[in-house]
Amino acid sequence: MSSIASVDRAAAELAANFGGQLQKPTDAGYEEARRVHNGLVDKRPALIVRCRGVADVVDAVNLTRRLGLEVAVRGGGHNVAGRATIDGGVMIDLSPMKGIHVDAKSHQARAQAGVTWAEFNRETQLHGLAVTGGVVSSTGIAGLTLGGGLGWLMGKYGLALDSLKAVDLVTADGKILRASQEEEPDLFWAVRGGGGNFGVVTSFEYQLHPVGPTVTAGLIVHAIDRARDLLEFYRDKTRSLPDEHALFATLAHAPDGSGMEVAALVTCHCGPPADAEKAVRPLKEFGSPALDAVGPMPYCQLNSMLDAGFPKGALNYWKSNFLTELSDAAISAMIDCFARCPAPMGQLLLEHIHGAATRVGVGDTAFPHRREGYNFLVLAQWMRPADTNRCVAWARETYELMQPYYAPGRYVNYLDDDEAADAVAAAYGANYRRLQRIKEKYDPKNFFRMNQNIRPLA
């Protein structure tokens, strides 16, 4: 482990040509820069290297390797496990890298790794174009895409990674590589689901799709005593959704801050308005909703619709797994578990996966979860540190009680920081061995290990 003095000397040497900003624990702005979205994560890097370009990233990787320190890479800082930061190591912060270029003619976009979905969508929607992105707009494009990318458009256009054309990447030895179907194809396969295991991805090239600028979307809220009826209705509707129609369900607390428990549907239809109106009509006619906020809205508004429910600094602890089916027993267990939720910001979420996201082969990308079904998420979120123990306990107990209904495999973007050692291997299933071989090729010393780590093949 390097001493504080050696870190200071190395930082001073780097500063001469560095385009970004170097922050040590005693510097102004360090306290804000070290914090990530999840307030439960409280780590103190020895040095934060805020990069403005690829040359800065190369220098940061070389400096970290020379110092013998561990490294964490931050894009949007939303990873719930807090993998974007580190105690005593170097945080390579890509958040100042905000370049976005949209080619409206070819329907392609190139964006740097510090871009958030709000920033990306704002540029692409000028041309009525989009790619599947995060459902919370402050999420970074980098982590979400590299780990998979569930979102509103996945039924029509697949996951975020399914629209990826190429990436630029800095390896553990400071080399710059471009990965695509034609260049470094094994690396390109691996980054589409394998996260930040293979280097620092500095930019992304996406194939865009015609979306918006207006879609039909929103929230429909019912009283909690209708939870069983609503979830059974949800199960029935998701058996026959068109590709353009995304439908999620949640047991949550009212968005008005009252803490009242509710059962809700969240939906988006990205197709023609007449088709969308027909598709959402059954949702609006079911039961007697306490709130029906489904209607035409700008696509950018849809992607910020849930932001207020996920404020930066809130304390978060998540557990998730795919379900084999949404059985009657699974619905009963969800309702019983949610009744014990101790925090007015906690929720249980079902994300339905269908359409284009399921028409990709299991081995075509590193992301292996290509069956139609549901991702189940236990989302414990609270504001007071005094509530931490009971909120974490509720999430763990709920996750365990739902075990009988789980399918193999988990979504790596939702893995928390206390998972069993084999959780990552289980998340990749049959693709894990190939990922290990590629890790051995590009990062044999496991320099990039502050992530959902894929260990090099021994």
**CATH class of domain segment(s) 100-211+433-442:** alpha beta
CATH annotation of 4-93: 3.30.43.10
- Segment 177-200, tens digit of pLDDT: 999 999 999 999 999 999 999 999
Whole-angstrom distance, CA of residue 309 vs CA of residue 315: 12
- Mean pLDDT (the chain) is 94
Q: Do domains 4-93 and 100-211+433-442 have the same CATH topology?
A: no
Sequence-separated (6 or more) residues with CB below 8 Å from residue 26:
none
CA–centroid distance for 221 within its chain: 25
Cβ contact 146:196 at 8 Å: yes
Domain ranges of the chain: 4-93, 100-211+433-442, 214-414
CB neighbourhood size of 87 (10 A): 11
**What fold does the segment set 214-414 form as a domain?**
Vanillyl-alcohol Oxidase; Chain A, domain 3 (3.40.462)
89-112 burial: b if 16+ Cβ within 10 Å, else e: bbbbbbbebeebebeeeebbbbbb
Instruction: Inform me whether the pLDDT recorded for 417 exceeds 70.
Output: no
Whole-angstrom distance, CA of residue 358 vs CA of residue 318: 24
Band (431; pLDDT cuts 50, 70, 90): very high
**Least confident piece of the model among 34-38, 147-151, 425-429:** 425-429
The residue among 5, 147, 153, 9 whose CA lies nearest residue 78 is: 147
Residues counted in the chain: 458
pLDDT at site 421:
61
pLDDT at site 418:
65
Instruction: Inform me whether the pLDDT recorded for 1 exceeds 80.
Output: no
**Least confident piece of the model among 130-134, 268-272, 384-388, 408-412:** 408-412
- Segment 18-64, tens digit of pLDDT: 889 999 999 999 999 999 999 999 999 999 999 999 999 999 999 99
Three-state SS across 98-166? CCEEEECCCCEEEEECCCEHHHHHHHHHHHCEECCCCCCCCCEHHHHHHHCCCCCCHHHHCCHHHHEEE
Whole-angstrom distance, CA of residue 344 vs CA of residue 255: 10
Cross-strand bridge partners of residue 317: 380
- Segment 273-324, tens digit of pLDDT: 999 999 999 999 999 999 999 999 999 999 999 988 899 999 999 999 999 8
- Segment 169-178, tens digit of pLDDT: 999 999 999 9
Whole-angstrom distance, CA of residue 423 vs CA of residue 32: 31
Residue 114, both tokens: 């510090």
